[in-house]
Structure 1
Amino acid sequence: MTADVDVLIVGAGLSGVGAARHLQDSLPDASFAILEAREAIGGTWDLFRYPGVRSDSDMQTLGYRFRPWTDEKSIADGHKILEYVRDTAAETGIDRHIRFGHRVVRAEWSSAESRWTVTAEHGTQSVTLTSRFLYTCTGYYRYDEGYTPDFAGTERFRGQIVHPQHWPADLDYSGKKVVVIGSGATAVTLVPSMADDAAHVTMLQRSPTYIASLPAKDPIANTLRRALGNRIAYPISRWKNIAVSVGVYQASQRLPRLVKAILRRSQQRRLPTGYDIDTHLTPRYNPWDQRLCLVPNGDLFRAIRHGKASIATDRIATFTEAGLALESGAELEADIVVTATGLNLLVCGGIELSVDGAPVSFPNTLAYKGMMLSDVPNFVFTIGYTNASWTLKADLVAEYFCRLYARMAERGQSVFVAVNDDPALETRPLLDFEAGYVQRGVAQFPRAGSRAPWQLGMSYFHDLVSLRHGRLDDAAMRFSA
């Protein structure tokens, strides 16, 4: 049986387009196709349309290793990132390999044929393709719905309730009182973006998040680009920012009191004198136990200083006709409530996997090097870092897969599968991160192991060595013709 393609990629977002480009560059003889459930390239950056949507990492590291980011803004607006992904897909013809409106629902591996048979829904039709390798770049959250807690009294509220994942194109918040529920990256983006037009914007949080101000434009990167040109300056800026992000993370883990003090001093300089930082901006956990939020040029702090925005740290008792009653007894008036309350996780885009007719239960599998599943042949998935830019890991996964593919082709092999033969191996959650959206959904994911190669590494430098340059043969990996 001949496969339709050698490699079938699922998802045409940042990871999927990047994976396709790596395939083109490293394996020009390998055929591939991309199945995308939506009608457009871009994934996350095409989905989210709320005001001010932007990167929460610098674009020197969120951008691809192989394609320089050339815009002056390092903390970039969403439409610029979308343009970057689409241009990447167009410049080498990757976009011609994408089949839009194809939502993959099932993938079945046959050992007898050494093939995946993949079923996708395309409108009212069912479409079937076969491939030698299946490579999922679907991210890890649901695109069709975000997470909203079950708030009491929402039926009484006379205003409008909006989730950022489903932002109405015609929403008019000019001159209105807005309450944004949440304290993560989406909330700290929305509040200053809406503050100039709204009457007032309140960020209502149960507990604080660490928030750091970062210049929207990287002066070093822009100076290097003007002096040296994009091709030379980009890798220098990229490595500079990788080193800085790793350094901040390591300092947060080893010297949390110092990092807390630095963040606090930065906030004090940007906020009104006497602002209650302890209540509104000092979490109970240490920096980087959850993701650190970035605000470009301190825009959130500036909106607070000018009286256009405020933070309320409290719990919701109930919605009322005119807004929100809080457990402290305070009330917040609102015309619009934005529930920036997080995401719902989804493993591999909700695809049902089976191997030789046996369904694959993700929680009963182990993640090999954070990118393959135990006992599932010729399958790769992409999960980025929680403590650094997603694309840093996505690039390494793609490079590793290309190395693996080339090695198998040289030796006449067609199948790889990771197998755990160590009965003493202890397992743990794949994502060791305290964020609420992770804790709600991590049980549905594969498990990690207590030692290599079954750990999901969160160290870029470690992965750089092991995935870009490390051995492809180890005790857990099996190859066959």
Structure 2
Amino acid sequence: MDVTNELDVVVIGAGISGIYAAKFYLDMHPGCRLAILDRDNCVGGTWNSRRGYDSFWTQWTVGTAEFSDLPMPRPPEDDVYYEFFKAKHTTKYLESYVDHHSYGGQTLRDRIRFSTEVQSLVKPDGRWIVLTKDRVTGAELVFRTPKLMVASGLTSIANMPPLPGREDFRGQILHHEDFGSSNVLSTPKIQNIVVLGGGKSSADMVYEAVKAGKTVSWVLKATDTTGPGFFLSPKGKGPYKNAFEIGMTRLAGTFNPSFMNGINWWTRLLHCSKYGVRMMGTFWGAVDTATRRDANFERESLQGFEKLNPHSP
């Protein structure tokens, strides 16, 4: 085990939140000893270059996916759809951001320790002891710090389901996390691809594989009746360019019951009264009808597409 590194601040995760947490702290304390630890080998977390691929799109609109101190250049129009844009432009922006900011002669990138996976955290004497392992060399490294920021995100560790008989399967088995860096689309030896799951990442992989000319089977649980909510039409209404912009308004935000909205006369009316519940039911029913109409699940040109029609609104 390597000697202990004494630091003032340790940030776990070099994604969007970790990068900006480090930047904000260094703005206040430019002379501090700060390190960012990340288990991957590149910047960006979910949006890093290893995990990216051409059909990976953001679910936010141009102008909202940037930090206030550095505007993101507008992507080419070919990579923009109703103001949503391809995720590779977020990747490029984050890569430039960590090189743009420097404190005490060190950029944010200089402070990132890549391929460093946190093994354990303990705080025995008022200071955090962070035990890490280098994913390339296997070497262990210990950090001691009084301040710790955890920004590892919700998608850091792949959730791979148990697959009975996988040891006898001759093909590749991989998680969405490794899809962008794999050769499943580029190699002609792989013609048939099976995708498990009904989330956005599954839909993205299906779309990318179909575009690459592969034969794709999409397997969804029969008991999954919630429906793929991300199939909502991207189109906006009125002054709003897309559905994201509508959803981010204060008014639309109150249409979902949420503790973040607080309890007041308006939320009580919408979610606690018979009239409000009926009104919300009518509103979301109209959204559901419009979504199904736009998706056109019954189209004859795509065999089996009707099976993606959600069982519930």
TM-score after normalising by structure 1: 0.46
Residue of 275, 281, 287 corresponding to 1:262: 287
- Which amino acid counterpart does residue 243 of structure 1 have in structure 2? M
Secondary structure at the aligned position of 2:146 is classed as strand
Please give the per-residue CA displacement for 1:250-302, whole angstroms capped at 9, x wherever unaligned.
32445144123223224314426xx2xxxxxxxxxxxxxxxxxxxxxxxxxxx
Q: Is 2:302 the partner of 1:307?
A: yes
Partner of 1:108: 122
Partner of 1:251: 255
| C-alpha distance in 1 between matches for 2:218 and 2:34 | 45
Partner of 1:181: 196
Structure having the higher strand fraction is 1
Secondary structure at the aligned position of 1:193 is classed as helix
Partner of 1:170: 183
Partner of 1:209: 228
Residue of 117, 120, 124 corresponding to 2:129: 117
- Which amino acid counterpart does residue 250 of structure 1 have in structure 2? T
| C-alpha distance in 1 between matches for 2:55 and 2:204 | 6
1:41–1:85 CA contact under 8 A, matched in 2? yes
| C-alpha distance in 2 between matches for 1:162 and 1:108 | 33
- Deviation for aligned residue 1:17: 0.7
- Deviation for aligned residue 1:27: 3.3
Q: Is 2:66 the partner of 1:63?
A: yes
| C-alpha distance in 1 between matches for 2:121 and 2:194 | 43
Classify 1:130/1:25 alpha carbon distance in 2 versus 1 (closer, same or farther; 3 Å).
same
- Deviation for aligned residue 1:212: 0.6
Identical residues among aligned pairs (%): 19
| C-alpha distance in 2 between matches for 1:104 and 1:257 | 48
1:146–1:165 CA contact under 8 A, matched in 2? no
Secondary structure at the aligned position of 2:8 is classed as strand
Classify 1:190/1:311 alpha carbon distance in 2 versus 1 (closer, same or farther; 3 Å).
farther
Please give the per-residue CA displacement for 1:361-401, whole angstroms capped at 9, x wherever unaligned.
xxxxxxxxxxxxxxxxxxxxxxxxxxxxxxxxxxxxxxxxx
- Which amino acid counterpart does residue 116 of structure 1 have in structure 2? W
| Greater relative CO (CA pairs within 8 A, separation 6+) | 1
Classify 1:201/1:108 alpha carbon distance in 2 versus 1 (closer, same or farther; 3 Å).
closer
| C-alpha distance in 2 between matches for 1:28 and 1:209 | 45
Secondary structure at the aligned position of 2:305 is classed as strand
Classify 1:106/1:197 alpha carbon distance in 2 versus 1 (closer, same or farther; 3 Å).
closer
Partner of 2:275: none
1:202–1:309 CA contact under 8 A, matched in 2? no
Classify 1:22/1:160 alpha carbon distance in 2 versus 1 (closer, same or farther; 3 Å).
same
| C-alpha distance in 1 between matches for 2:195 and 2:215 | 11
1:35–1:102 CA contact under 8 A, matched in 2? yes
Residue of 70, 85, 88 corresponding to 1:76: 85
- Deviation for aligned residue 1:156: 7.3
| C-alpha distance in 1 between matches for 2:205 and 2:178 | 14
Q: Is 2:131 the partner of 1:128?
A: no
Secondary structure at the aligned position of 2:149 is classed as strand
| C-alpha distance in 1 between matches for 2:24 and 2:303 | 46
- Deviation for aligned residue 1:13: 1.5
- Deviation for aligned residue 1:161: 4.3
Size of the alignment, in residue pairs? 259
- Deviation for aligned residue 1:65: 4.1
Structure 1: gaps of 5 or more residues: 222-237, 276-303, 315-481
- Which amino acid counterpart does residue 68 of structure 1 have in structure 2? P
Q: Is 2:98 the partner of 1:89?
A: yes
Secondary structure at the aligned position of 2:89 is classed as helix
1:118–1:130 CA contact under 8 A, matched in 2? yes
Residue of 161, 177, 180 corresponding to 1:148: 161
| C-alpha distance in 1 between matches for 2:191 and 2:166 | 19
2:185–2:212 CA contact under 8 A, matched in 1? no
| C-alpha distance in 2 between matches for 1:160 and 1:103 | 25
Please give the per-residue CA displacement for 1:219-265, whole angstroms capped at 9, x wherever unaligned.
978xxxxxxxxxxxxxxxx9x66733x54443244514412322322
1:177–1:198 CA contact under 8 A, matched in 2? no
1:205–1:311 CA contact under 8 A, matched in 2? no
Secondary structure at the aligned position of 1:198 is classed as coil
- Deviation for aligned residue 1:90: 0.8
Partner of 2:267: none
Matches within 5 A, 1:225-236: none
Matches within 5 A, 1:298-447: 306-307=301-302, 310=305, 312=307
| C-alpha distance in 2 between matches for 1:106 and 1:120 | 7
Partner of 1:6: 8
1:180–1:204 CA contact under 8 A, matched in 2? yes
Matches within 5 A, 1:445-464: none
| C-alpha distance in 2 between matches for 1:243 and 1:141 | 23
- Which amino acid counterpart does residue 52 of structure 1 have in structure 2? S
Classify 1:39/1:268 alpha carbon distance in 2 versus 1 (closer, same or farther; 3 Å).
same
2:233–2:294 CA contact under 8 A, matched in 1? no
1:108–1:117 CA contact under 8 A, matched in 2? yes
Classify 1:91/1:45 alpha carbon distance in 2 versus 1 (closer, same or farther; 3 Å).
same
Structure 2: gaps of 5 or more residues: 102-106, 258-270, 272-279
Q: Is 2:211 the partner of 1:196?
A: yes
Secondary structure at the aligned position of 1:258 is classed as helix
Q: Is 2:44 the partner of 1:42?
A: yes
Partner of 2:29: 27
Secondary structure at the aligned position of 2:307 is classed as strand
Please give the per-residue CA displacement for 1:101-136, whole angstroms capped at 9, x wherever unaligned.
22222333243xx43232222323222222220111
